[in-house]
Structure 1
Amino acid sequence: MTTVPTSTDEPAAPAEKREYEKPVLSIGVPVGVVVLVAVLSQIPVLVNRVFYYWDDSAAQFLPMWYRLGQRLLSGDFPLLLDTEAWIGGNLTAEAMFGVWNPVNLLNYVLVANFDDLASAGAVVKAEFLVILALGVYFLAREYGASRWACSAVAVAMPFSGFTLYFEASIWIAGLMAFAWVPHFWWAARKLARGRIGTIWPFLFGALCVTVGNPYGLLGVGLVLLVLMIEFRARKAVVRLFALGATVGGVALLVFLPLLGNSKVSWRNSKELFNNTQLVPSLQDYLSSSLPSHVPDIHSFSTISVRMTFPAMYLAWFVVPLLAWLDWSVLRQRWRQLLGVLVIGGVYLVATLGPSNFWMFRWPLRLVEYFYLAVMVLFAVLLSAGLRRDHLRRRAWTTVGALAVTAYLSFSSWPKIAAWHIVSVLLLGVLVALSVIVFRRWGSRPLVAVLHVGTAAALLLQVVWFPINRDVAPYGFPSSVAELKTFASRYPGTMVQVADRDPVIYRGKGQFLEPDTAVWRDILFGNVYRVAGVDTTTSYSGMGFKPFHKALCLNDYGGAKVRECPGDTFANLWAPTEAGVPLADLIKVRTIVVQRALIDSPHVPPGWTVAERTNFVTVLRRVRDMPDWGSARLSRTTPGMKVVEDAMPAQHKESVAFERGAARGPLSLTFARLNWPGYKATVDGRPVEVRNGPGGLVTVDLPADVSAGRLNLTWTPPGLWIGLAGAAAGLLAALVLTVLQRRGPGAKAGNPG
């Protein structure tokens, strides 16, 4: 009966004569991986300049990164709140901007120095593709794979279909989290073996968690759990448990604000259901090596029958070379590979699960985590070299695998049959070349063939599928100078009454190429943040329900025309409990109305038509509002006198007031959303902060107060607990590392 070894030191792999294991290559191979991935990551840009500036990356991430970078350059830190972004301005609750992640912050400063957001996206995303590749390389090395095999899977993994077309192109927060997972896995396993101190996996885990993506947190937790199964020795389990506690302290800092805002957010669903959206099937994995295979997966379009790009692609060599691998390696080393096998199995099952499960939706997002385990196993198998026996049998098996792949791909989308033929021929030539090269010259020339094939497959894919068309093809301007012209056209707080559907959709879910001329007048999401326009049009992953209900907005700041056409504009002028319309309470100076929704909007008293183009009518306030400076106070009880209204930071405001001629109760309303965490004091005396119209911050002053200073501050829910948890985690990791270095049997590991 066999049992899992209890030693924390993993038994060495069977000794083999490998010329590529010379120490001189210890640094050279990882450097080569970095260079090759950095170069290959620019191929999509050569075909499509805005490949990395697409959908959510264009509407949400890059514009906000630019704005956050500007704030950092001006010395504004920490980045807790952006009042000018309204529903998208709760930076800590949104989590996905990773405002506690030092690498993210450095990248925001970098983006703020670019004149073109598409170029900035290409640089930052190439950086994280490189980080991912290095993580895959070191992780595969940790499991005993050879350097040349590790380089092959490390270079291929960043250009797998989902990672490239979804994570890198649009959902960059997912890539940022995923890129750190293999680094954490590698370091945590070395910690379990006693080769490094706790501080290193802690840092990688902290970088992963502080990105703010829940899939990264899930990956960290699963890795720790599986390593505890792989290493049963008490000392290893204690190390891993302590590591989990330290990283968990950082997780409190990131996710407590999100949970604390759940009562005002729409993103608090705990539903479990399956509408088949972005749910792959086992059949889709059979064609994961064919560059032209487009899987039958229901996407975002209501009439979608398949995806529009190779979402399930992994690497050209995985399926074709299966028949040439030495599978006896798994029988010999299954105990050492137990963690990889379990993680791969868990993620495989998860990818086939329901479309929505608590905070997690769209199982396709988990495919890359499954592929990570597959690539590690493949590198271990490939390290033993290709089999030299039963040549004819293996050749026919490969032919059969390619035939099945070709048939499945043709069945999925017959229209591109010519591409399938080219892909199958390419794979056939590459497999034959791989076998011949290995049999004659060995491993080093073989890895060159693998890399050339990866580059060739990538080039074909970006030519055939230059973009992910399953998402919104906004086509926003990427020029910072062009975007900044909106600041002078739309001064002050701006409300935009517009919807993207008439611009980029037709019928039910059929995507159109947007008319880029419209972006001279209308923007959506966070794009206005580049110009510094104070606007209710912003992108939010969590929302603020009272404000959304009041103005009938959606998650990217547009009007919900299908649910309440015209209500966004009408609700601006509806009477409120404060005695003035919402347009006054949020200090609106400019209103932009899409003519496709309301061709001739009513012009209220005190307003004028400042501009009228083919796409919009622009209204501007001509009657002045009370001038209390540049802070957020918008309404007081009639007769009150405001001596001073100052805003030293986005999350702080101070108002000096006098009762003046006011009678009865006194109250103040601010052009701020009442996110959980606001507190107010009058001369040090606590007073209640409540929801005003639209969920705006409203403070009722005590009846016995006739003059004083109101101090309003906002602290994200759980901030101090999170900071204490993160600090305790860091301190504990440092202490544990010192103790581990002084302990008996301490060893130094070499990742290369």
Structure 2
Amino acid sequence: MSTVETASADSARAGSRSREVLAAAAVAVAVALLAQLPVLVNSAFYFWDDSAAQFLPMWHELGERLLAGQWPALLEPDSWMGGNIAGEALFGVWNPLHLAEFVLVVAVGDLAVAAALVKTQFLVLLGVGTHLLCREYGASRAVAAVFGVALPVSGFVLYFQAASWAGGLMGLAWVPWAWWASRRTCHRRGPLWAAFAAGYLCVSAGDPYAVLALVLVFAGLLAEFRFMRVSGTRRMCVLAASVGLTVPLVFWPVLATTAVGWRTGFVLFNVGMLAPDPGDLLNLSLPGFVPQIRSFGSFRMTVPAMYFAWFVVPLLAWLDWRAFARRAREFAGPLIVAACAVLLCLGPSQVGLFRWPLRHLPLAYLALSVVFAVVVSAGLRRDRVWLRWSVTVGVLVLCGYLSFAAWPSLWFAYAVSLLLTGGLLAIALRVRLMPLVLHAGTVVALVLQLCWFPANRDVADYNFPSDVRRLRDDFAGLRTGTVVQIADRAAIPQEDIASGAVWRHLLFGNMHAVAGVPSLVAYTGIGYRALHDRLCLGYFGAHCPDAYRRLWTVDETGVPLADQLKVRHVVVQRQLIDAPVPPSGWRVVQRNDVVTRFERVAALAWPDGRVGASRGVRVESDVERGTRTEDVRFSAVDRTGGRIVFARLAWPGYQATVDGARVPLRATSAGLVEVSVPPGARAGSLRLTWSPPGYPGCLVLAGAGAVLAVLGSRKAVWS
């Protein structure tokens, strides 16, 4: 090749790369702009349900830990049942991008604004990743961009994952990137270490559904390479092994909590919760369709959770499926992933730690995006126009009828949806710039959905205050020690929630962490059974009135539970107990229409640590060194030995030593750490430490995975 030809080829490649970058940037801008539409209709759209009660408050807490130089943040004792960060997994403390987002939440200072910023970024990440994945399989830039914009604003992704279940969105956003990078690597178009990095980001997001998606992607790619009879199987196995070695670091602590938490063992059952019927999948293109799927507190949903893209079903009769059939082997991966995801959607409502099958729907739509993007890119069929229109109209009428049958009172939304899809299809078939019409329809459909369904009423609307400074001012009086809140959200009048007035006296979920208040109330997906059983404790508070009596009850330790927990403040909702009487040593400091608040009169013993009680041993000093280590000096141990109870939940992973020698520990009946001090010691030093179960081994495995990926990038591995 001559110098001129070489320069021309290099110029062409550079121009092609520039166009690819511009197309991806256009998708990013489009998704970012569309992601702001929900906020214009509902300012709290992204600060909703679990995002308000669980994610944003804990992100803020973790961000403050990072800014204070503490990492990894694996345990938050002051968050109690929600404090096993390693066991919760879904906060993604091992994901570097997530750590940056935590710091951003702190810098913003308003949780609702921060929620919109963070979730916009991950919607953009999902959109660009989908675009690149479609391009990887051969879709045109314009059509790949259509699906890259459509998937992030599809029903389940927007109304459930973006609005509420932020962990699901953050995990899903990495899946197309891991898929794209893995396929490129196995076709020798990218280094293995880059695919490993994408896979690690997917795993470290902490969403088990993303890990399951990655398993299906790897399986689909292996089948794809085999069907195509191309090399890549060896690379795929090395990549899967390297990524798989990082999984225990993130998820082993989750499994380790099953012995003490709410989620235990392998369970398999079906109660129909968030489980669609096959007929619901047919309505994935009708913007106004609300499926009759059992949801939280209702026999049907209130949002278009099944919606994918307005043009998918209407275009079915116009696609050139013969072109797809000629290349079917190349699409074994997407077809296998789509088929498995659909089957999982229709499966039991709980399989082990996986519950609510509808959570698999975005993966099915991602795989279908690849297939449809390639087929649409091949061009539409223009023959047998009347037959194709007849099929299209028939399918749309069937979709309309199924929608009407599910919820007849929404007939107007269904009628508008049918007119919209039919009219836009007619325009798309007549113009040359069809992708622009598809984009326009996506925008119009989203606007209509937000007008009809401005919020997800299937889940909880807390209406929490989002201004961090205001929260800390309102609860400044409770920041001096651990708080027990006897309260039930169900007992709050709805008008008080709507006005936000109640949140000046009560908080639920992880909101106490934002206010800087150590509290037993915390949102948790894993729970701690013993403390829950003792105080009826959930993330809504200690919600049974009898919890107040139990708080002062003396158990096997010989000390009231309030003292073991080192409680400084008690807040009692008046709807549960109108006029509680404080015990000796406590005084009422506030009583209003909502709560009665007590405060301990005398100072707590051992104020620098978490020792709550001792028996048979005299504790001289107690110093908490960070969240995971505590040093205690003791003397005068009884001849039969002594016991020291710590105001810490006995999560698996605690160890205790006395003068360097291991000593036994156990959990009290309330679930607190109790250390046995051996008899015969006149004085000594006790050190209590915690780390996630298997922590050193998991770190070694993750490191081995990274080393394997780097070594696998060398050509010598494949020779």
Q: TM-score range by the shorter chain?
A: over 0.9
- The answer to whether structure 1 residue 483 and structure 2 residue 459 are counterparts is no
- 2:639–2:679 CA contact under 8 A, matched in 1: no
- The answer to whether structure 1 residue 458 and structure 2 residue 446 are counterparts is yes
- 1:536–1:557 CA contact under 8 A, matched in 2: no
SS at match of 1:177: helix
- Structure 1 match to 2:577: 598
- The answer to whether structure 1 residue 474 and structure 2 residue 462 are counterparts is yes
Deviation of the 1:514 alpha carbon: 4.5
Deviation of the 1:641 alpha carbon: 4.5
Matches within 5 A, 1:288-327: 288-301=284-297, 304-327=298-321
d(CA) in 2 for partners of 1:263, 1:73: 33
**Residue in structure 2 matching 1:502, options 466, 491, 509:** 491
- Summarize the Cα distance change of 1:273–1:424 in structure 2 as closer, same or farther, 3 Å threshold: same
d(CA) in 1 for partners of 2:280, 2:486: 42
Matches within 5 A, 1:43-58: 43-58=37-52
d(CA) in 2 for partners of 1:460, 1:641: 66
Structure (1/2) with the larger helix percentage: 2
d(CA) in 2 for partners of 1:165, 1:86: 30
**Residue in structure 2 matching 1:697, options 657, 664, 673:** 673
d(CA) in 1 for partners of 2:493, 2:566: 31
- The answer to whether structure 1 residue 492 and structure 2 residue 481 are counterparts is yes
SS at match of 1:694: coil
d(CA) in 1 for partners of 2:283, 2:525: 33
- The answer to whether structure 1 residue 517 and structure 2 residue 495 are counterparts is no
How many percent identity over aligned positions? 47
- Structure 2 match to 1:587: 566
- 2:335–2:367 CA contact under 8 A, matched in 1: yes
- Structure 2 match to 1:274: 270
Unaligned 5+ segments in structure 2 are 1-14
d(CA) in 2 for partners of 1:424, 1:275: 33
Matches within 5 A, 1:31-180: 31-180=25-174
- Structure 1 match to 2:10: none
Deviations 1:10-52 (A, max 9, x none): xxxxxxxxxxx95542211001000000110010001000000
Deviations 1:556-578 (A, max 9, x none): 142343xxxx2211111111222
**Residue in structure 2 matching 1:354, options 348, 355, 368:** 348
Q: Which moved more, 1:403-412 or 1:111-120?
A: 403-412
- Structure 2 match to 1:248: 244
Matches within 5 A, 1:512-591: 514=498, 516-554=500-538, 556-561=539-544, 566-591=545-570
- Structure 1 match to 2:5: none
- 1:63–1:529 CA contact under 8 A, matched in 2: yes
- Structure 1 match to 2:184: 190
Unaligned 5+ segments in structure 1 are 1-20, 439-444, 507-511, 745-752
- The answer to whether structure 1 residue 722 and structure 2 residue 698 are counterparts is yes
- 2:572–2:597 CA contact under 8 A, matched in 1: yes
SS at match of 1:618: strand
Deviation of the 1:139 alpha carbon: 1.0
Deviation of the 1:639 alpha carbon: 7.1
d(CA) in 2 for partners of 1:111, 1:641: 40
Deviations 1:647-676 (A, max 9, x none): 22100011122228x775322211111111
d(CA) in 1 for partners of 2:667, 2:300: 45
Deviations 1:142-196 (A, max 9, x none): 1111111100001000011001000111011011111111111111112222222
Deviation of the 1:346 alpha carbon: 1.2
SS at match of 1:261: helix
Deviation of the 1:94 alpha carbon: 0.8
Q: Whose relative contact order is higher, 1 or 2, with alpha carbons under 8 Å and at least 6 apart?
A: 1
SS at match of 1:221: helix
SS at match of 1:305: coil
| Corresponding letter in the other structure for 2:636 | R
- The answer to whether structure 1 residue 364 and structure 2 residue 358 are counterparts is yes
SS at match of 2:108: coil
- Structure 1 match to 2:623: 646
Deviation of the 1:436 alpha carbon: 1.2
- Structure 1 match to 2:608: 630
SS at match of 1:231: helix
- Structure 2 match to 1:734: 710
- The answer to whether structure 1 residue 616 and structure 2 residue 605 are counterparts is no
- Structure 2 match to 1:747: none
d(CA) in 1 for partners of 2:308, 2:342: 14
- Summarize the Cα distance change of 1:56–1:617 in structure 2 as closer, same or farther, 3 Å threshold: same
| Corresponding letter in the other structure for 1:469 | R
* TM-score between the two structures when normalised by the length of structure 1: 0.91
SS at match of 1:580: coil
Deviation of the 1:513 alpha carbon: 6.5
- The answer to whether structure 1 residue 29 and structure 2 residue 18 are counterparts is no
Aligned-CA RMSD value: 1.8
d(CA) in 2 for partners of 1:607, 1:515: 32
d(CA) in 2 for partners of 1:300, 1:223: 31
